[in-house]
């Protein structure tokens, strides 16, 4: 990886870790959640920019976009299909799989875009930017699990269980930080405790979906990367073995 590519990657990480949270914060405090559509669109733009910064002449940019679009579509359909079951969704599993296989930027993009698109069905609101960041950041940090080689399945499942609790933690913050909310550590603890059954169900669902989806998806994505030379396949040094297989 050249110095220019490293600089672009660092800029992309800054957009994800700084620009997106600041955008969400602006929506909460400056606009008092009245402008959530522009805030959601701005968050979506910042979610996509880190990936587009990687574009270079001669790269298979269109193919990479197609792969991310497919993963986003799977994640969107998964959330819609399981709409009747509260707290039982494959979104975190799909964003984690994307992050592990395709990198932190791609994981963040799939998570954030899934929240934005599916909320046209579930209902848009001031919670949308928070969901975009929450699912996106789970995909982003999952990307670091696969920088050298695919993690074993038990590691992914543990990360998925923790991710379910982290998602609930971030969404409960929206409740107490939103205008009119009563911020206090005791108030937040009470809200988090009240939502623990749903958070626990979501953590369990993450593990179930990872057990079902991780092996086939990671195996297919790994073959696609190596066949077409996508997503810095030469630099990431991912192994062909699926999680839980021979390492």
Residues 106, 150 contacting (CB under 8 angstroms): no
Of 130 and 186, the one with more pLDDT: 130
Would you call 22 helix, strand, or coil by DSSP? helix
Return d(Cα 10, Cα 173) in angstroms, integer.
27
> Average pLDDT, stretch 30-50?
80
pLDDT tier at 242 (50, 70, 90 boundaries)?
Answer: very low
Ordered by where they begin, the domains of the chain are 60-236 (1.10.1760.20)
Neighbours of 133 (CB within 10 A): 26
CA distance 235 to 144: 14
Task: Please give the Cα distance from 121 to 221 (Å, whole number).
Answer: 29
Integer CA distances (angstroms), 171 to 155, 194, 195, 245, in order: 24, 13, 10, 35
Average pLDDT, the chain: 85
Whether 89 has a pLDDT exceeding 90, the answer reads yes
In this prediction the pTM is 0.86
- Tell me what pLDDT residue 202 has: 93
Q: How close are the terminal C-alpha atoms of the chain, in Å?
A: 25
Asked if residues 95 and 135 have their Cβ atoms less than 8 Å apart, the reply is: yes
Q: Where are the alpha helices (DSSP H) in 90-195?
A: 91-102, 104-122, 127-142, 153-177, 185-194
Question: What are the structure tokens assigned to 240, written together?
Answer: 């062909």
Q: Which one is predicted more confidently, 27 or 127? A: 127
pLDDT over threshold 60, residue 104: yes
Query: Residue 239 and residue 247: Cα distance in Å, rounded?
Result: 8
Residue 238's pLDDT band, with cuts at 50, 70 and 90, is very low
- Which has more confidence, 89 or 3? 89
Q: Are 203 and 92 in contact (CB under 8 A)?
A: no
Q: What is the pLDDT of residue 80?
A: 96
Residue among 65, 132, 96 nearest 243 (CA): 96
Between 143 and 245, residue with greater pLDDT: 143
Q: What gap in Å lies between CA 204 and CA 198, rounded to an integer?
A: 10
Mean of pLDDT values over 215-232 = 91
Percent of the chain with pLDDT strictly greater than 90: 48
Q: How high is the pLDDT of residue 179?
A: 58
Which pLDDT score is estimated for 1?
A: 65
């Amino acid at each position: 990886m050249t110095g220019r590519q490293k600089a672009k990657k660092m800029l992309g990480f800054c957009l994800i870790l700084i620009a997106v949270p600041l955008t969400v914060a602006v929506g909460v405090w400056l606009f008092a959640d009245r402008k959530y559509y522009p805030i959601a669109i701005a968050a979506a733009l910042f979610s996509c920019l880190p990936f587009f910064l990687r574009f270079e002449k001669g790269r298979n940019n269109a193919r990479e976009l197609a792969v991310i679009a497919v993963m986003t579509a799977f994640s969107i359909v998964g959330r819609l299909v399981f709409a009747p079951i509260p707290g039982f969704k494959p979104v975190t599993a799909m964003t984690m799989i994307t992050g592990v296989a395709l990198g932190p930027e791609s994981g963040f993009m799939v998570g954030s875009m899934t929240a934005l698109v599916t909320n046209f069905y579930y209902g848009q609101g001031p919670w949308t930017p928070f969901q975009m960041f929450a699912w996106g950041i789970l995909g982003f940090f999952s990307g670091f699990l696969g920088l050298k080689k695919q993690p074993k399945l038990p590691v992914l499942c543990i990360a998925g269980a923790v991710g379910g609790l982290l998602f609930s933690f971030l969404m409960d913050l929206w409740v107490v930080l939103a205008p009119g909310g009563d911020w206090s550590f005791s108030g937040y603890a009470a809200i988090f405790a009240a939502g623990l059954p749903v958070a626990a169900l979501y953590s369990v669902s993450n593990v179930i979906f990872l057990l079902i989806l991780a092996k086939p998806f990671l195996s297919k994505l790994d073959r696609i990367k190596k066949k077409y030379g996508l997503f810095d396949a030469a630099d990431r040094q991912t192994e062909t073995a699926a999680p839980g297989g021979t390492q």
